[in-house]
């Protein structure tokens, strides 16, 4: 009666565009865990939803000529439709535009401000609109946003800050005392070494540069920035309130696990716990940063045109096959890959051959030899006991693996039992037994054991492939799949009838299927989505592709203004062991360039040298000193040599 509670969440999906299969993976993964925990008797609450505020959305909406709310309504609808299509069994779908959520965010913000964790200050830096992030000069990549490569604009605004450093020591102690808090382990190290040890910066938690967000209640010009808005969904969704938290909140919080992408681990393992500490609430038991699903060798991204969508895949392969693929393909800590070819290969060998055929041949034999009536189990032989023991062990392994969130390993254990069962058929050769009336009892025992294995496989599979599990249950005669019965070999009732045998997964012809997919995608997306078509060359000849990508036209090269420059002076930059501040004469002009060659050249060796510089590189500040270009040097294995001119030539000369 007293079920242990289990609260599990996904990250909320950002509603700037329809989620691709990589985003969808997270929901499927979380769903599998949630379903499994329910199956074994936990009182599960599974939360997912959408993150709907921010400047990017505001701009997208403006571009589309609609209000931000209208915009996010559409995308949130798409998100939810895909989650539903994939059979995500969430208990609640929260949207950060929900009234209740907004109220809680405002209350939290006020509370943190009143108690002094948040103070008002000023933020200045280079701002990237697309990424909604500020960068320091030194973080920029070639003067552009280091994340997306777009232009940034210098921006200064009044803002509220959260004093993170106040909680740093407490968080550090918590992480040390709870080794399971951050998973996988290597991620924990990254967080501790890169952020906690060096010391936390105060976090900017409001914006004035856009309006699409939760207004700060006591300072309406400000909008609550993503951290406090989005992260608090985990508690607002279940009824947190600083004054009077709901019964549901008291029951479920703290979360047992937050399932998130590895890219947002920092927010969930540093900022979020600190926010909770400031609120005086307990921290989540665990944060799991799952790896990414890559398209071939590449990160999936709309801009590179290699996106796959869950609905398109489901249309081609069926929902369960897609669920199976992403769940089984993702190792615990390393990125997984997806291509049409690999899906087809796994589909055929595992779903159609190993699993589907096992069910089909077994049920067919029961029909053929026993008129569809499940025979009774008789005396057991060694082969039987070995099989039964494997089945029992499989169930235990699945539970253990799921406890560790090793979903792919759990699935592998189940399929391993399916393979063992196929082997059992070979060992017992029912078609031989069937020819001998004296062996009828033995034949019945063999088929009974097989049906039991299939029942157990089906029940274990329920969390991963719910539709397939239901089909298996139907074909094995609607046998109960409750967890008690799963743990007991022999729970199946003899004398009842099996269902009609029907293949669970039809085998696919790779060539034909690829052509079908290409046609379907072409019909749906037309010419604009050429790159989304399955392309064997793409996955199998990455080299050729790389070479193509690195080829530039003469026009690209012409964009660079390369000049001969003469070094007038070189001095070390204070506080840096590798930077020089150089003065260069370029024609009639003197340029200041900061260059990281101090370990390779003495200052006096540089003066008077001709070097080659990029004269039209966007200036940046390095170590607080403006650098108006860069000089070229060849580098290999730690040694470095400046590019210079073969014969004397006046500085300012163009290099091409």
Cα(640)–Cα(598) distance, rounded to whole angstroms?
A: 11
Q: Is 140 in the site for RNA (CB under 7 A)?
A: yes
Nearer to RNA, 255 or 359 (CB): 359
Cα(577)–Cα(563) distance, rounded to whole angstroms?
A: 27
Angle between helices 382-403 and 440-461 (to 10 degrees): 0
In the DSSP assignment, the letter for residue 504 is: S
Other beta carbons within 10 angstroms of residue 115's beta carbon come to: 11
Nearer to RNA, 242 or 291 (CB): 291
Q: Is 146 in the site for RNA (CB under 7 A)?
A: yes
Q: How many CA atoms lie within 13 A of 214 on its CB side?
A: 29
Cα(408)–Cα(383) distance, rounded to whole angstroms?
A: 28
Dihedral angle of Cα 482, 485, 486, 491, to the nearest 10 degrees: -130
Choosing from 166, 208, 360, 439, the residue that interacts with RNA (CB under 7 A) is 360
Stretch that binds RNA, among 240-248, 315-323, 361-369, 552-560 (CB under 7 A): 361-369
Interacting residues with RNA between 195 and 234 (CB under 7 A) = none
Q: Where are the beta strands (DSSP E) in 55-152?
A: 92-95, 118-128, 133-135
Give least dist CB 326 to RNA, A.
Answer: 14
Residues 6+ apart with CB under 8 A from 385: none
Give least dist CB 361 to RNA, A.
Answer: 3
Q: Is 354 in the site for RNA (CB under 7 A)?
A: yes
Size of the site for RNA (CB under 7 A): 72
Give least dist CB 175 to RNA, A.
Answer: 14
Nearer to RNA, 41 or 331 (CB): 331
H helices of 117-208, in order, are: 168-177, 185-191
Nearer to RNA, 34 or 191 (CB): 191
Give least dist CB 360 to RNA, A.
Answer: 4
Nearer to RNA, 216 or 411 (CB): 411
Sign for the CA dihedral angle at 212, 214, 215, 221 comes to negative
**432 burial class (0-12, 13-18, 19+ CB within 10 angstroms)?**
exposed
Residues 6+ apart with CB under 8 A from 342: 325, 329
Sign for the CA dihedral angle at 591, 597, 602, 606 comes to negative
| Token pair 């699935």: residue | 411
Residues 6+ apart with CB under 8 A from 119: 113, 160, 161, 163
Stretch that binds RNA, among 97-105, 221-229, 362-370, 515-523 (CB under 7 A): 362-370
Q: Spell out, one character per residue from 415 to 434, where the chain touches RNA: x when CB under 7 A holds, - when not.
A: -x--x--xx-xx--xxxx--
Give least dist CB 365 to RNA, A.
Answer: 4
Q: Is 595 in the site for RNA (CB under 7 A)?
A: yes
Give least dist CB 413 to RNA, A.
Answer: 11
Interacting residues with RNA between 273 and 312 (CB under 7 A) = none
Instruction: Take residue 399 and report the two structure tokens written for it.
Output: 């539970």
Q: Is 399 in the site for RNA (CB under 7 A)?
A: no
Instruction: Take residue 296 and report the two structure tokens written for it.
Output: 């071939």
Interacting residues with RNA between 105 and 134 (CB under 7 A) = none
Q: Is 142 in the site for RNA (CB under 7 A)?
A: yes
Interacting residues with RNA between 233 and 272 (CB under 7 A) = 262-263, 266
Nearer to RNA, 114 or 185 (CB): 185
- Cross-strand partners of 610: 566
In the DSSP assignment, the letter for residue 282 is: P
Q: In the structure, how many helices (H) and strands (E) does the chain have?
A: 26, 26
Q: Spell out, one character per residue from 543 to 582, where the chain touches RNA: x when CB under 7 A holds, - when not.
A: ------------------------------x-xxxxx---
Q: Is 368 in the site for RNA (CB under 7 A)?
A: yes
Q: Is 138 in the site for RNA (CB under 7 A)?
A: yes
Q: Is 171 in the site for RNA (CB under 7 A)?
A: no
Q: Is 407 in the site for RNA (CB under 7 A)?
A: no
Cα(250)–Cα(586) distance, rounded to whole angstroms?
A: 70
| Token pair 């249950």: residue | 473
Nearer to RNA, 199 or 608 (CB): 199
Give least dist CB 199 to RNA, A.
Answer: 12
Stretch that binds RNA, among 217-225, 437-445, 548-556, 624-632 (CB under 7 A): 624-632
Q: Is 389 in the site for RNA (CB under 7 A)?
A: no
Q: Residues, the chain, total?
A: 656
Q: Spell out, one character per residue from 26 to 65, where the chain touches RNA: x when CB under 7 A holds, - when not.
A: ----------------------------------------
Q: Is 631 in the site for RNA (CB under 7 A)?
A: yes
Q: Is 136 in the site for RNA (CB under 7 A)?
A: yes
Interacting residues with RNA between 471 and 500 (CB under 7 A) = none
Q: Is 593 in the site for RNA (CB under 7 A)?
A: yes
Stretch that binds RNA, among 89-97, 190-198, 216-224, 276-284 (CB under 7 A): 190-198
Stretch that binds RNA, among 125-133, 269-277, 358-366, 515-523 (CB under 7 A): 358-366
Cα(311)–Cα(18) distance, rounded to whole angstroms?
A: 11
**Cβ–Cβ under 8 Å, residues 249 and 239:** yes
How far are the Cα atoms of 30, 580, 591, 629, 646 from residue 614, in angstroms, in the given order? 50, 17, 11, 6, 18
Choosing from 134, 627, 642, 651, the residue that interacts with RNA (CB under 7 A) is 627
Nearer to RNA, 71 or 505 (CB): 505
């Amino acid at each position: 009666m007293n079920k242990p509670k289990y609260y599990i969440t996904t990250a909320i999906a950002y509603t700037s565009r329809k989620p691709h299969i990589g985003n969808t993976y997270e929901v499927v993964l979380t769903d599998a865990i949630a379903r499994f925990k329910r199956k074994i008797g936990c009182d599960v609450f599974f939360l997912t939803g959408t993150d709907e505020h921010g400047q990017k959305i505001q701009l997208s909406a403006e571009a589309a000529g609609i209000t931000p709310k209208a915009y996010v309504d559409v995308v949130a609808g798409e998100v939810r439709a895909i989650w539903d299509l994939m059979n995500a069994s969430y208990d609640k779908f929260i949207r950060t535009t929900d009234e209740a959520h907004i109220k809680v965010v405002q209350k939290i913000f006020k509370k943190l401000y009143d108690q002094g964790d948040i103070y008002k200050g000023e933020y200045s830096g280079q701002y990237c609109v697309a990424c909604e992030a500020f960068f320091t000069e030194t973080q920029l990549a070639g003067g552009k946003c280091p994340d997306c490569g777009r232009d940034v604009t210098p921006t200064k605004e009044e803002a509220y800050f959260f004093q993170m450093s106040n909680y740093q020591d407490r968080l550090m102690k918590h992480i040390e005392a709870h080794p399971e808090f951050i998973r996988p382990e290597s991620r924990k190290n990254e967080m501790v070494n890169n952020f906690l040890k060096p010391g936390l910066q105060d976090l900017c938690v409001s914006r004035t540069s856009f309006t699409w967000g939760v207004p700060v209640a006591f300072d309406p010009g400000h909008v609550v920035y993503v951290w406090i808005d989005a992260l608090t969904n985990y508690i607002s969704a279940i009824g947190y309130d600083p004054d009077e938290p709901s019964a549901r909140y008291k029951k479920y919080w703290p979360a047992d696990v937050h399932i998130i992408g590895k890219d947002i681990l920092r927010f969930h393992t540093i900022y979020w716990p600190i926010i909770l500490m400031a609120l005086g609430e307990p921290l989540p038991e665990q944060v799991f940063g799952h790896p990414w699903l890559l398209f071939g060798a590449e990160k999936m991204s709309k801009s590179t045109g290699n996106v796959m969508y869950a609905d398109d895949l489901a249309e081609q392969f069926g929902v369960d096959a897609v669920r199976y693929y992403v769940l089984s393909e993702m190792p615990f800590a390393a990125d997984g890959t997806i291509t049409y070819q690999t899906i087809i290969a796994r589909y055929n060998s595992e779903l159609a051959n190993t699993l589907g055929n096992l069910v089909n041949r077994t049920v067919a034999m029961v029909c053929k030899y026993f008129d569809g009536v499940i025979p009774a189990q008789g005396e057991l032989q060694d082969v039987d006991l070995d099989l039964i023991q494997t089945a029992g062990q499989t169930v235990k392994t699945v539970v253990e693996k799921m406890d560790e969130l090793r979903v792919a390993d759990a699935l592998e254990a189940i399929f391993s039992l399916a393979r063992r069962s196929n082997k059992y058929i070979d060992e017992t050769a029912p078609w031989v037994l069937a020819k001998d009336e004296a062996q009828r009892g033995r034949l019945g025992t063999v088929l009974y054991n097989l049906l039991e294995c299939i029942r157990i496989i089906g029940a274990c599979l329920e969390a991963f492939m719910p539709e397939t599990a239901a089909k298996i249950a139907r074909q094995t005669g609607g046998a109960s799949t409750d967890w008690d019965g799963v743990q007991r070999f022999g729970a199946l009732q003899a004398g009842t009838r099996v269902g009609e045998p029907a293949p669970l997964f039809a085998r696919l012809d790779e060539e034909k299927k690829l052509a079908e997919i290409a046609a379907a995608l072409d019909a749906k997306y037309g010419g604009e989505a050429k790159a989304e078509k399955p392309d064997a060359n793409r996955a199998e000849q990455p080299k050729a592709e790389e070479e193509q990508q690195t080829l530039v036209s003469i026009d690209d090269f012409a964009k660079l203004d390369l000049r001969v420059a003469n070094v007038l002076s070189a001095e070390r930059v204070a506080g840096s062991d590798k930077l020089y501040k150089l003065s260069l004469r370029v024609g009639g002009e003197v340029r200041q360039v900061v260059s990281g060659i101090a370990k390779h050249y003495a200052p006096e060796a540089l003066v008077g040298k001709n070097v080659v510089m990029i004269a039209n590189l966007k200036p940046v500040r390095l170590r607080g000193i403006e650098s108006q270009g860069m000089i070229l040097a060849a580098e290999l294995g730690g040694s470095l040599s400046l590019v210079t001119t073969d014969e004397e030539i006046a500085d300012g000369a163009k290099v091409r």
